[in-house]
Every structure is written in C-alpha cells, then in structure tokens.
Structure 1
Amino acid sequence: MRQHAIETNWRSKPIRSPKMLKGHDDHVITCLQFCGNRIVSGSDDNTLKVWSAITGKCLRTLVGHTGGVWSSQMSGGTIISGSTDRTLKVWDAETGNCIHTLNGHTSTVRCMHLHGNKVVSGSRDATLRVWDIETGSCLHVLVGHMAAVRCVQYDGRLVVSGAYDCMVKVWNPEREECLHTLQGHTNRVYSLQFDGVYVVSGSLDTSIRVWEVETGACKHTLMGHQSLTSGMELRNNILVSGNADSTVKVWDIVTGQCLQTLSGPYKHQSAVTCLQFNNRFVITSSDDGTVKLWDVRTGEFIRNLVALDSGGSGGVVWRIRANDTKLVCAVGSRNGTEETKLLVLDFDVDSNTGAVIARTFKTSILLMLLATFKNASFVYSRPERRGVPQGGRRLPPFFQLYCYVPGQNSLSVRDSSCFICKK
C-alpha cells in the first residue's frame, strides 16, 4: 500500500521546489553517490562534499586532492575517490578524515569499482590496480591494455575492464592474469556492465556487445544506437542503455532483442548523460537540461521530473542517483548559464495530505489497516484476543483513527479492542 502510494507520487505528484545543495561554485560535479540519507559529490574543484539528503546541509568537505576528482565509490561510512593527481584517497565519511592515500598510478584515476574491502581502479596510465582499503596497500597490478582504462567492474572474483584501445579484458586479479581479451569493438569502450555471467560493453562505434564471461565469446551485437553509448545499467538480464544520439533503449541480453526505444515526441533533445532503472521506471538525464521518467515495460514517457530554465542554452543535468523515495541530480552548465548545484526531489508519502473518506468496519473480523505511513504501524481488531500484543498498546474505547493516504480513502476505526503495533 505504501509502495503503491510512492509509485503514484513518482508518476503524478506535483513537483514542488526541490532542495538546492550548493557548494562546488561554478565547477563541474564529476561523480555522484547516494546511499541511505547521505549524498557524496565529487568535483573538478579538487574536493568532495558529503551532504544530508534530509536537510540539504553540507556535512563535510573532503579536502586533500591536488587535482580534480573524477571517480568515487561509497560503502557505509567509507568513501573512496580518484583524481587527476594520480592518487586514490580513502575517507571516513563521518569525520571527513583521510584514512589512506593510495599511490601507484602514473596518470588520472578515471574509474573504480568497490567490492567488500577491495577497490579496483582504472587509470589513463593503461593499468588497473587492486587495493585493500583497510590497510591502504596495493595488492595487484593488472597490465595489458594499450591505452587509457575508461571503465571497470569487479564482483569480488573477476575484474572486467574497458579501454580506449577498443578492448575489453577479463582478469583473474589474484593471479594478475588476463583470462580473455574481448575483441570486436572498432572504437573506444566507454561503458561496462557485468553480472557474473555476461559482460556488456558500450562503445563509440555505436554498438553494444554482450559477451559470455567464462568463454569470452560474443553472444550478441546490439545495434540501433547512432553514437556513443555513454551509460548502461543491467539487472536480471534487462539492459537499459543511454546514448549520445539522445535515445534510450531497453534490451533483453539473453535474446539480443530491443524491447523498447524511449524516444518519440518527448524524447531528449541532446545526449543522454546518465540513467537508472528498476522494475517499474527508467530515469534519464541529458545535456538538454531535463530529467525524464519512463515506464520500463511499455516505453511510455510519463513526465519530466526536472526541466531547467537554461535547458537548451547550456544547462546540463550531469548525473542522477535515486532510491525508492528520492532523486538527486547534479546540475551545471557548459557556458555559465546554470549554477552548479545538487537538486534533491522527494517522492515519499506525505501522511498529512490526502482524501478523507470514512469507512466503517465490523470488529468481528480481523482488520489489518495501515495507520501511519511514515513509521509503518498497523491497526488491527480481534475481539477474541484480549491481551495487548508485544510492542503495542490498546486504543481507548471509541477511539477514532484517521489514516491519511494520498490518493486513497482514510480509515476510521471505532473499537475498544483495537491495538497499534509496530511492524
């Protein structure tokens, strides 16, 4: 019931003024992480900032890099960043202290992937390095690419990397061995996804390739985009790809079939910069200054979640991150027409709004009624049971409860044997 209300909010709730988080001045926000109620933004101003998604306040500014921050990862209270200063840094998100500086790369750290207590970094020096973030030590160096490493995935067992040499490589990091070199792309590889069974690579050659990780064989070549595939996301054999040609496509990687093309009259007017999806929605951002919401099953355009006034004249949404109830957007411009900032949109259920229509229920049957959306309490009545449930309290006689649910009826209960119990 709560999930349905949240989904309805994403689809149709009037979008009020989002929280604006300012702090990187006129620099570009190059990387964005969102976990729990904490947001981390990295910038070419050499810093990272930790924000509260609830209050919008900047909690910490992480200072220490001497070059722009171009990659980051976050897990729990730990943040890892990679920079043009050729180092990675491990930070305590609570204190803002730098725990370790990881030295070894000889050029920009362009990408990374964190799994457990290990992070794999890819650099413009054409190498990858495996680090222990608890000790700060470099465990392994993976050498084999002939040009800058642009993207990396790591599942704790295998490392997969894509580079400007047009190659995708599968590595056993413990043995520092390249198991497969996946050849087929004719231009730079910019994006990767890896689920343990399949590797999916996106390239400037306009194609997307699906590879079997165990054999290195190319299972499918997905054609249809007209330019660089800059972003992809894979889950449960469904791939969503965003392209510089302004379109987004939904694919079945097992069959190689394109299920949907998210385009039409409401499509983006410029390159897709970022995307995210779940089993209901696809969220996409673009150089045109918009963030759009689509139905992942039908390909239907639902609505614009963000539309910058400067869109089309320089305003850009660079990055997006979302959870069930919030959307975070990194906004800026190429020409100074849009201030650099983060926007936080909230689609959570508001328990203080909604229709009020009373319903009456007989107390001779079991009632399970949602009492408060925000703390997920339940009201039920069972006259034959007189004991107060553990963690609950008896409602006084003729107590009247109103539960406000956006788009739903309120619920009225009058009975002395009702209880409120935490879920």
Structure 2
Amino acid sequence: MEVDDGPTRVGGKRNYPRSGNPGGAGARSHHPQICRYWQEGRCLKGDDCQWLHPGNPGTTGRGTFLGNGRRASNVIDNRSDNRGGWGTTGEGGFSSGSSSQGRSRNVSARWGRPRNVVGRPSQRERGYTDGSGGGHTQRSTKGKPCNFWLKGNCNRGDDCMFLHAHTTAPDIQMMTQLIGHEKAIRAIEMPQGASQLYTGSQDESVRVWDCTTGQCTNVVQMGGDVGALLSAPGWLFIGLPNEVQTWNVQTSAQQSLSGPKGQVHALAVSEDGLLFAGTQDGTILEWKFNALTHSFEPAASLSGHTGPVITLLFIGNRLYTGSMDKTIRIWDTASGQCIQTLEGHSDVVMDLLCWEQFLLSCSLDGTIRVWAANAAGQLDTTFTHPEDEGQAEPRNGALKMCGCNDGAGKPVLLVSYNDNIVRLYDLPTFSERGQLFSREEVRALHVGPGGLVFSGDSCGTVKVWRWTGVQLAAGGG
C-alpha cells in the first residue's frame, strides 16, 4: 500500500528527504558531506578521503555531525493485567481511547526543559546497553548504530567505530525479535486480558503470536495490505483496502464492512459500540453495533478532510482525526459535526495521543505539538518540540507515538522517526533519555502489560522490549 502526496509517501519504502549523504564533486569546498563509506564503517582512505569523517582529528571531519533529527485507536491503555509470558502489570497517565475523561482547562504541566537547568547525562557519559541488560562504554564519537550489526553481519567486531547495541537507554532492554512477516509492519495489537499478540503487515497477512513462547501460531491471509488493527473487548478489527474486517474472538464469527474507498489507515471504537475508520479518500466512516443481529451496521459518514485520514483517536464523545491535509479535526460524534480544526503542522499528521488533559500530535514535519483547552474550551498549541523552529537542517519526520510508564512509574513518550530510531522522552520536559534502533523505520508501536513495548519496522521485524524494574506476577516472563 502506498499513499502518495507529491514527494511524501506514507507506507512502504520510505521516500523522505534525508541529509548527510555525499553529493557531487566539489561539494566539500562549500558544504562538507559525510562519507558514506565512513558511515558504514568501511572507508579505507582515512585522512586522504575528500568526504567528512566526523570526530577524526586531522581529517576533513573538523565539525560535528549534523543530521540527528529530531499508536484500539492509537492511544495507550495501561490498565493492570496479571498475565504471564513477556510481562505483567502496567498502568499510567495515558488515557484509553474509549475513556469518558474530559479535557481540563487547568494546564498544570510545565512543558519543555527549563533553559537554566542542566540536562540529564549524555549518552556517552551514561554508557550504552547492548539489549541484554548489560552496559558497555561508547566506542565511537557519537551514538550512531552499526547497520551491519543490526542486520547481523558486521565483521569488524570491537574495531567497529559504530555502536553495537539495540538501545542506548539503560532501563529498557530488548527481549526478543519476532520474525515472519515479509514486508512492513503497519499495526500491532495485544488485546486486554489476552495471551496473544496480533501483527498486521503490508505482506497482506495478520500473524498471531503466543505471548508465552513467542512463536507464531497462525497466519491469516487478508488479500490486501493491513493498514490498521484495533482490539476491543471480544473483538479484533482489521483495516484493509476498501473494507474493514471484524473478528469476534469468542465465536470466531467474521464480518466484512464495505464502504471505504481505498486503504483504511486508522480505526477507533467507542464503549457504546461505535466503530470508526479513516480512509484514503479523506472520509471517516462510522458503524454501530446491533446487539440483536450481533453485527455492525452503517451509521454515518464524516466529511471535511481534503487528504487521506491517517490517524484516529476517540476520547469521551469526541473523535480526533489527523490527515495528510496537515490538519487535525475534532468531531462531535452525537451530531456528526466538526467542531474545530487544528492547524499548525506543515506536513502530514501521522499520529495522535492523549496524555492527561493534553492532546499530542506528531507529523512528518518533524515536530510534536502539545494541545490544551483554552478558556473558551478550544484547543490551542501550548508547546512544540523541538522548540527551535528556525533550525536550518531538515528534521527527520515523526511517524508514530506511544506512551507508557517506566520502571519507576514516570511517564515516557516514545516517538519513531524516519531515521530508523525511536526516541524516548521524559514528560513533560521532553528531555531525551535514550534511543531504540531498528534496521528500517518503525511504523508501528504498541504498549502491553508488564512494562512491555512492541515495535514493528519496515523490513517486517517485530521487537519486544521491556522496562526494567517492573514487578512481574508469578510465572511472568
């Protein structure tokens, strides 16, 4: 599945602008470019190389490296759950998509790191973790991961100048990798109280994984790219091209909901049985569950977006929608009317998240915006990360978000970017506390119980992470 809007592609292989690759001859005299071979750890020219080797004294690398840039209904439900397998118990201040929690006008959080406060230790000062819980010191002048090591084929060993690690965060570790999908992971779901994990991919399949063994127990061919997965008590919903599939996990009954035009990119559900789908043509379709027929029936169609709807978030009686038209719309689901349009992002709105009384949005423009209600009850931007709006270097686009609590119970925001890195931020300061590395960009993030976090990348790999310090129930993995 591909969604094209000029040079920007949402889904499939990335086609985003990137920086730091060697240009044509003569580039060094004006804007020194990073040596591609040096980045891969195999440049043999050393001081004689005409391209930039950052951090190597006496070479063209006199400057510092420039290029580090800056997701049921894409909201986090961290209710406690006593279950074995990868983990147990998880709770936090990220509200559920079906919550009736209202928006508060008392904006108490102080966003952003104060200018006069010294930040947390750098990655070099903290040291790195190798994914198994152990730490080791940094071997390179910056924390750039070795792409060959991530692929399992770096032959330089201790001589490699790049980082051999899955993460730089000292309090989260990679537990395992789930291998089987052949194309990009688009969605991950672990239903409340279940012992199975569901993953959807552009290889047109949904895989079911046993949370105790980590083994794939079923592969369901869907006949089209899986653009979204969503779980609700007793149900699993799958977004496909031109339809939404519903699975009753108790009776195994299935239903195909027709109506969408093009790929279904996002799904949301309410506690009273309303199902929403964001589609390629910019409309949001709504179905209502009929308890007599045990099926979903068409209820409404919400129109207003001028581009594909990429993300949905349902809180209380409000539906929040983000689109390729660069806007966020707020809908009153009782009347079906759009009650506010939020503008501010300069590129595709990729994901939405609710934390306490705040709405968070991320975009391909590289920013995360924090929205809060003003005195009139309308949402306004209260903080934008990063704060330096005028920087010259292009930012990496932000793709997905999820929120959880760390082992100490502190709120953490995880954001994936199209430089193949998931960055971890403390809230509300947005101080970066570490990074998670993948071979390709991460297009799916999901939080499970017991301090678990799942990430799915564009090469089809699902990584299972867990916060250290989270107490496990008896029999927990």
Bin for the TM-score computed over the shorter chain: 0.5 to 0.7
- Structure having the higher Rg: 1
Q: Distance in 2 between matches of 1:245 and 1:206?
A: 9
Q: Quote how far apart the aligned CAs of 1:205 are.
A: 0.4
Q: Distance in 1 between matches of 2:264 and 2:211?
A: 27
Q: 1:255 aligns with which of 338, 355, 378?
A: 378
Alignment correspondent of 2:280: 164
Alignment correspondent of 2:413: 282
Alignment correspondent of 2:131: 19
Q: Counterpart of 1:118 in structure 2: which amino acid? A: W
Distance 1:215 1:285, change over 3 A: same
Q: Distance in 2 between matches of 1:343 and 1:98?
A: 14
Alignment correspondent of 1:149: 264
- CA deviations on 1:324-347 (whole Å, 9 max, x unpaired) are 99685859799xxxxx88585756
Alignment correspondent of 1:401: none
* Bigger relative CO (Cα 8 Å, ≥ 6 apart): 2
Distance 1:72 1:288, change over 3 A: closer
Q: Quote how far apart the aligned CAs of 1:241 are.
A: 0.6
Q: Distance in 2 between matches of 1:289 and 1:98?
A: 25
1:405-420 equivalent positions in 2, closer than 5 A: none
Taking structure 1 as the reference length, the TM-score comes to 0.58
Task: For residue 198 of structure 2, give the secondary structure of its aligned residue in structure 1.
Answer: strand
Task: For residue 146 of structure 1, give the secondary structure of its aligned residue in structure 2.
Answer: strand
Q: Counterpart of 2:469 in structure 1: which amino acid? A: D
Establish whether residue 120 from structure 1 lines up as the match of residue 237 from structure 2: yes
Alignment correspondent of 1:387: none
Q: Distance in 1 between matches of 2:228 and 2:297?
A: 20
Native 8 Å contact 2:176 2:463 kept in 1: no
Establish whether residue 188 from structure 1 lines up as the match of residue 305 from structure 2: no
1:20-419 equivalent positions in 2, closer than 5 A: 56-57=175-176, 70-75=186-191, 76-84=194-202, 86-95=204-213, 105-124=222-241, 126-138=242-254, 140-155=255-270, 157-174=273-290, 176-252=296-372, 255-265=378-388, 269-277=395-403, 280-288=411-419, 290-294=421-425, 296-297=427-428, 300-306=429-435, 316=441, 320=445, 330=455, 342=463, 344=465, 346=467, 348=469
Q: Quote how far apart the aligned CAs of 1:282 are.
A: 3.3
Q: Distance in 2 between matches of 1:26 and 1:180?
A: 47
Q: Distance in 2 between matches of 1:112 and 1:84?
A: 12
Native 8 Å contact 2:183 2:458 kept in 1: no
Q: Counterpart of 1:303 in structure 2: which amino acid? A: E
- CA deviations on 1:248-298 (whole Å, 9 max, x unpaired) are 00113652211211112499921012223368543323224554454544x
Q: Which has the higher strand share?
A: 1
Native 8 Å contact 1:262 1:301 kept in 2: yes
Q: Distance in 1 between matches of 2:231 and 2:300?
A: 22
Distance 1:15 1:257, change over 3 A: farther
Distance 1:250 1:173, change over 3 A: same
Q: Counterpart of 1:348 in structure 2: which amino acid? A: G
Q: Quote how far apart the aligned CAs of 1:228 are.
A: 0.4
Q: Which runs of 5+ in 1 are unaligned?
A: 4-9, 28-52, 335-339, 350-373, 376-423
Count of residue pairs brought into register by the alignment? 302
Q: Distance in 2 between matches of 1:218 and 1:92?
A: 41
Q: Counterpart of 2:131 in structure 1: which amino acid? A: K
Q: CA RMSD in A?
A: 4.4
Q: Which runs of 5+ in 2 are unaligned?
A: 1-90, 92-118, 134-146, 153-171, 405-409, 473-477
**Sequence identity (%):** 21
Distance 1:68 1:262, change over 3 A: closer
Native 8 Å contact 2:274 2:288 kept in 1: yes
Distance 1:200 1:291, change over 3 A: same
Q: Quote how far apart the aligned CAs of 1:201 are.
A: 0.6
Q: Counterpart of 1:167 in structure 2: which amino acid? A: T
